[in-house]
Structure formats: C-alpha cells, structure tokens
C-alpha cells in the first residue's frame, strides 16, 4: 500500500497529466529533493521557489488569476502565518468581484505534531484556516483520501487549502489507490527516487485512475450507538483505535472522519449525534478558539434537546509551542490514552 506522501505525489502527477496543473512549486519542491517529505518528487511541473512564503502565495494568486491551476507548497505550516493577508485576498476574490474572477489554486502545507519538530515545525493551522472565509479546507487521515482530496482540490474553481498531517505522511494505507500496483516494493522502485545521484533517474508512473473524494463530505469509519467522535488528520486513527478498544469494554463508539473542515458535512454529524446523544470533537490545534469550539457551539444551539451529555472538545494545550522532548510534545497534544479515556468518560455520563 502507498503511504500518504506517495499518494499525494501520485495525485499531483495525475493532475499535471489530466487536470491542467502546470506549476507545482515551493521551497525545495522541485529536484533534487522533491519536498521535505518527498510528496512532489520527480513531478515534471515541479520547481523550486526562493525562500519567500509571501512570494509563493502571491505567485499562486497571479497564476490563478491568469487562468492556470497552480499548486503551491508552504514547506511547513509554521511558515504560513506571514501570508495571512494574501490568503484573505485569495479567499475574497470571487466574492469581491461579484463572481467575475475565479481563483483555481491549491495551497498545500504539512501541519501538526508527530515528528519531534519542536517550536518551528509542529504548528497546526486548522483553526486559523477556518477563520479565512472563501477557502475550502481539507485534511486527509489516510492515503486513499489524500489522493482523492488532492484530485478534487485540483479540479476546484476556487482556493483550496490542503493540510497534510505530517505524522501520517509515512504511514501506509489500508486501501489501494486506483492504478497502484499490488506490490509495495514495486511501487517504491517505480516512483521513489534513489539515494545519491538522481540526475539520470526517471519515475515509472503506474496507470493511475481518476478517483475524487468530494469536498464537503465526511465518512463514518466506525459505526456505533453510544458516543459520536468527530476528528480528522493525525487524531483520526487514534479515535478509530480507541473505538476498537472500547468495543471490548461494551462501549459502542461511532467515529466520523470529517475530511473537509470547510464546508463541513453537518448533515452527517447531526444524524450521528441525534442517534448517540453524545459527541466528542478531537483535534490537535490549541484548545482556545479551536475549530472544534465552533462545532460544540453549533451542536448546543441546534441539538441541545437531543443531547444526553454536554458536547466535549479534546484538543492541544494552549501553549506557545510544542517542545522538542518527547514528553513535552506528548503532553502538548492528544495522545492515544487521552482519546480513549475522554471517550470512556463521556460514554459513562448520564443526564
């Protein structure tokens, strides 16, 4: 099975071959590195930009205004904050031109903890991204969704923020990408550049097929009747594993992978919460002004009389950064034990 970085790379290859993507760029995005996580390795339209995040976003806006479909990368989400005003311009372009100017651009950036990246390589961006109207925002939790969401992003007529959970970029999936060879080692030999001199190496791309995950649609990954758990990105696999563990204790947990943060699948969430009467929102961004707080507010306003317990949020600690030491990182963002205990506690709560 492909890992998430390979899935993103294959989706971008499909996009440059079939969807009109002509520029994939950012810091170290082109050869020889192909991105710090190799997600853009050996793509024919990939090129290296200067170390200038504002220049990267500004160039993407200009290319999109000229009718192209650029994919720009900010090497780590920690570096994107000095582009917020430009992201706001990109988000309001369709609205401010009364629908005359579309902006078909994708900005991809690795987010979150999990690689011991410390203070400058561990930030989340989901809360900030959802504060910028006009952007569609997606975050996959597995390689197949990573492939399908990227293809949908590259087809969209307006800006899409593609958040890559860096802790999952090397994790293999459980489902094959359409066209992916059955042999994992064969896939690696075909598309992963060798160590050392790569000047004469060329990828041998598999016969990839169109597969799009609709933006705005979540997915039930575990069915249950007592508690609804809503997550995305790095924390989604933790929630699924917690549901499996708690099933052995007699606790029935429904886990929803949001996949799209905006526009999110409220109908799916609503139907599940009405069924279970309890909901826990889980992500690793800091807990103050967290995107999950918006979901808690909407849950209370629209589903108050359906609830058996107050909705809860499990999120990252409100600290300025994530420390380098394992203990500091693990104390800063939700870990497996935190997720399992939070669900267990909520399931036990009665009106």
Q: Which residues are catalytic?
A: 121
**In angstroms, rounded to a whole number, what is the distance separating the alpha carbons of residues 49 and 28?**
7
**Residue 335's closest CA among 256, 233, 234, 260?**
234
Q: Count Cβ atoms within 10 A of the Cβ of residue 116 and give its class: 0-12 exposed, 13-18 middle, 19 or more buried.
A: middle
Q: Which two tokens stand for residue 307?
A: 């609830």
**Residue 213's closest CA among 114, 139, 163?**
139
C-beta of residue 107 within 8 angstroms of C-beta of residue 161 = yes
Query: Positive or negative, the Cα torsion across 233, 238, 241, 246?
Result: negative
Residue 341 host element (H or E): helix 336-348
**Residue 293's closest CA among 304, 282, 302?**
282
Cross-strand pairs, 219: 257
């Amino acid at each position: 099975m492909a890992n998430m970085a390979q899935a993103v790379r294959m989706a971008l290859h499909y996009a440059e071959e079939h969807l009109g993507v002509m520029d994939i760029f950012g810091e170290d995005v082109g050869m020889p590195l192909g991105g710090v996580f190799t997600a853009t390795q050996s793509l024919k339209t990939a090129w290296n930009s200067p170390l200038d995040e504002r220049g990267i976003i500004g160039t993407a806006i200009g290319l999109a205004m000229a009718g192209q479909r650029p994919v720009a990368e900010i090497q780590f989400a920690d570096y994107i904050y000095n582009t917020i005003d430009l992201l706001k311009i990109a988000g309001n372009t369709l609205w401010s031109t009364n629908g005359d100017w579309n902006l078909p651009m994708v900005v991809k950036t690795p987010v979150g903890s999990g690689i011991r990246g410390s203070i400058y390589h561990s930030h989340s961006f989901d809360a900030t991204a959802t504060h910028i109207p006009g952007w569609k925002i997606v975050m996959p939790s597995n390689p197949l969704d990573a492939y399908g969401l990227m293809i949908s992003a590259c087809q969209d007529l307006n800006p899409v923020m593609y958040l890559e959970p860096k802790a999952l970029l090397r994790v293999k999936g459980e489902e094959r990408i359409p066209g992916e060879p059955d042999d994992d080692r064969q896939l690696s030999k075909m598309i992963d550049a060798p160590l050392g001199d790569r000047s004469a190496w060329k990828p041998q791309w598999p016969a990839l097929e169109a597969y799009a995950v609709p933006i705005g649609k979540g997915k039930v990954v575990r069915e249950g009747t007592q508690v609804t758990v809503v997550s995305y990105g790095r924390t989604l696999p933790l929630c699924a594993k917690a549901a499996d563990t708690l099933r052995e204790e007699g606790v029935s947990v429904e886990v929803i992978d949001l996949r799209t943060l905006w526009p999110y699948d409220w109908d799916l969430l609503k139907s599940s919460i009405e069924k279970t009467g309890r909901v826990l929102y889980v992500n690793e961004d800091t807990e103050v002004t967290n995107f999950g707080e918006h979901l808690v507010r909407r849950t209370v306003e629209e589903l108050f009389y359906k609830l058996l317990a107050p909705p809860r949020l499990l999120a990252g600690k409100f600290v300025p950064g994530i420390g380098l030491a394992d203990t500091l990182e693990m104390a800063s963002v939700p870990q497996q034990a935190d997720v399992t205990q939070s669900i267990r506690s909520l399931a036990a709560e009665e009106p």
